[in-house]
Every structure is written in structure tokens, then in C-alpha cells.
A = this chain, B = another copy of it.
Amino acid sequence: MARPSTTADAFHAIAEPRRRQILGLLATAELPVNDLVTALDIPQPQVSKHLRVLREVGLVAVRGAGQQRLYRLSPAKLKPVHDWVKGFERFWAESFDRLGEYLADLQAGQPGADTPPHKTEGESE
């Protein structure tokens, strides 16, 4: 890799399972770090680090409350992601011709109707 940051955008930020978990938790309520630590059951420093990434990307916002820091969701930055995937909605919305069925096949395994590719066979998933 030689490009600028990486986790510098929402897409990268949510690639981390833990961060998605955090966002999920914050979607419910504004929470202090400690609650997240308890919920995630991972070392506090890690939580703080994940929160930092999320903060820098703008997916969460903080607010000091005494000696605690309450994190809340700041979902705006999630919209681009939503918008992007939404563009593919129709593909699994079935009844898009018989595309749904077709794609199901593809996922299932070797379609059989497909022309056998190179030798590097291995197809999709």
C-alpha cells in the first residue's frame, strides 16, 4: 500500500467488525467508553483506538461528561455507504427478470451453464 491513510474514510472504518459493533451499540444510545469496553469485552485501549478512527472519520462524536466521554453516533458519514450499496439493491430484490434465480445459482456453486474458464478455475466464491 502506498496511498494516503487508509481508515481515513467511512468505508475503511466500517470494514472492522469491532467498529461496526461499536456503531451498532451507539445506534442505540450514547455511551461512555467503559460501557463499550464491557459490551465488546476487549481491552479498553483497543476500544479507544477504534473510537479514534471512528471519530476521525466522523462516524461518531464525543461529548465530555465529567470524567467520562460519551460517544454518540454521527451517522451522516454512513450515508454514502448506504447510497452506494443501495445501487445494488435491485440485484437481490428478486423478480428482476429471472436474475434473482440466476444469481442464486451463481452463489450456490458451479452454474453449469457457464463456459469453463481458464485453468485457474475456482469461479466465484
Chain A residues close to B by CB (< 8 Å): 9, 11-12, 14-15, 17, 20, 23-24, 27, 55-58, 60-65, 69, 72-79, 81-82, 84-89, 91-92, 103-104, 106-107, 114-118, 122-125
A36 to B110, CA, bound (A): 24
List residues of chain B with CB within 8 A of the CB of A75: 88, 91-92, 103
Report yes or no: B15 in contact with A107, Cβ–Cβ below 8 A: no
- Nearest-neighbour CB distance to chain B for A21, whole angstroms, equals 11
Instruction: Please state the number of chain copies in the assembly.
Output: 2
Contacts A12-B15, A117-B69 known; A123 to B62 CB distance under 8 Å?
A: yes
Report yes or no: B91 in contact with A20, Cβ–Cβ below 8 A: no
Report yes or no: A103 in contact with B125, Cβ–Cβ below 8 A: no
- Nearest-neighbour CB distance to chain B for A112, whole angstroms, equals 12
Within 8 Å by CB of A87, from B9, B17, B27, B58, lies: B27
Report yes or no: A117 in contact with B62, Cβ–Cβ below 8 A: yes
A75 to B69, CA, bound (A): 39
